[in-house]
Amino acid sequence: MGLKNKRILITAGPTWVPIDSVRVVSNTATGETGILLAERLQSLGASVTLLLGPADCRGLKVKIKTIRFRFFDQLLKIIKRELGAKRYDALIHSAAVSDYRPAKKYGSKIKSGESVWRLGLVPTPKIIDLIKKIDRYVFLVGFKFAPEVKKGILINETNKLIERAKLDLAVANTVNGKRYKAFILGKKIMLGPFSTKSRLIRKLSDILEDNL
């Protein structure tokens, strides 16, 4: 079928949730996978929009329409806006979204110097679970990252995600020591392992070409 003129929305990078006016809870995601995917899919003719969190965008080698965000709430708002305003053929949700946020919001900077400061956390909504409710026709690709786990556990957790969020495809990936390993899962497929992100991205691109 090919990807020429197919609209693809990609999320990448970390999200922040605020603790107070200057501090945040975040993670160490770099956005590399999402950036590489955006470049690959655009080179194949797709019309790509990249939603990129607070990560270094200097890794982008080609000009791609990029919308920046920092906070969890900003990402959710942008996704709703984009899916409501345009017809996207696919959404690839590779952003490392915050799972928790502080239970209490502080409007100003909390004073330093306290000997103990306990920060209560509560779960954030699962953005991936909301996407098919916004646009049930979009081809949805999700990511499951679980470090230092065995293959069986990783695959099982990813299959749960596929079922819960109604994914069309999912990427299950892990790092053991410095060894990267990824699989592509669907309702009737399991491909991999892929030992590098570039190999994963090439195969995922092939699948999207055949299905969009």
pLDDT digits (tens, 9 = 90+) for 45-61: 999 999 999 988 776 77
Give the domain ranges of the chain. Answer: 7-105+122-211
Closest CA to 207 of 168, 161, 149: 168
Which H/E stretch holds residue 171?
A: strand 169-176
CATH 3.30.70.2190 fits 7-105+122-211, yes or no: no
- Residues with Cβ within 8 Å of 127's Cβ and at least 6 positions away in sequence, in order, are 75, 76, 79, 93, 97
In tens digits, the chain (212 residues) has pLDDT values of 789 999 999 999 999 999 999 999 999 999 999 999 999 999 999 999 999 999 887 767 788 999 999 999 999 999 999 999 999 999 999 999 999 999 998 888 888 887 788 899 999 999 999 999 999 999 999 999 999 999 999 999 999 999 999 999 999 999 988 899 999 999 889 999 999 999 999 999 999 999 99
Task: Note the residue count of the chain.
Answer: 212
Supply the DSSP string of 112-144, one letter for each residue.
Answer: S--S-----EEEPP-HHHHHHHH-TTSEEEEEE
Model pLDDT, residue 59:
67
Model pLDDT, residue 57:
75
Q: What is the pTM assigned to this prediction?
A: 0.94
Q: What is the CA radius of gyration of the chain?
A: 18
